[in-house]
Structure 1
């Protein structure tokens, strides 16, 4: 199964979210995408991180819609479905 099929089953981005993400990213010089990641949080569970970035990693799955790009690494994607 390719990354696009895997993403379609796990994560969806609404049109409103895509517009908002695109607007936020466009206001940050040199940034091209929103990176979402999940980290272990110990006793309090998982921690979700949101960063504006300008590069893609080899293990990123890209979700693109209406001019917005969201990047999620393979490991974090497992916890977002």
Structure 2
């Protein structure tokens, strides 16, 4: 199981964690949605659930549920600013397609 976080994404995630000292870590996974099937979920986690796996990624506790694990294995999480917009960007080798708006993806 391998998930990487780029330096800009690490900095942004640490900002969120520093503002929420009680957080168990950052939840990363997928949910069913959109026109292609799945969308990424990145949120602060209050607790670790029994079916979660916690990864230490450069000092960041990354919490991934068992259902999402095979779909996000190998993903690189990045953070980009373009003008007034800022967002996390995901480079997922398991994604076989994305919708036109970039909000959802499919896996083979």
Greater C-alpha radius of gyration: 2
Structure 1 residue runs without a partner (length 5+) = 1-6
Cα RMSD, aligned residues only: 2.1
- Equivalent position of 1:73 in the other structure: 65
Q: Does structure 2 conserve the Cα–Cα contact (< 8 Å) formed by 1:15 and 1:66?
A: no
Equivalent position SS for 2:47: coil
Structure 1 residues 35, 19: CA separation in 2 closer, same or farther (over 3 Å shift)? same
- TM (norm. structure 1) is 0.68
Higher helix share: 1
Alignment of 1:9-28 (within 5 A): 11-14=3-6, 17-28=9-20
Higher strand share: 2
Structure 2 residue runs without a partner (length 5+) = 74-108
For these two proteins, the number of residue pairs brought into alignment is 73
The runs of at least 4 aligned residues of structure 1 exceeding 3 Å deviation read: 13-20
Q: Match for 1:31 among 23, 30, 39? A: 23
- TM (norm. structure 2) is 0.54
- The structure whose RCO (Cα within 8 Å, separation 6+) is larger is 1
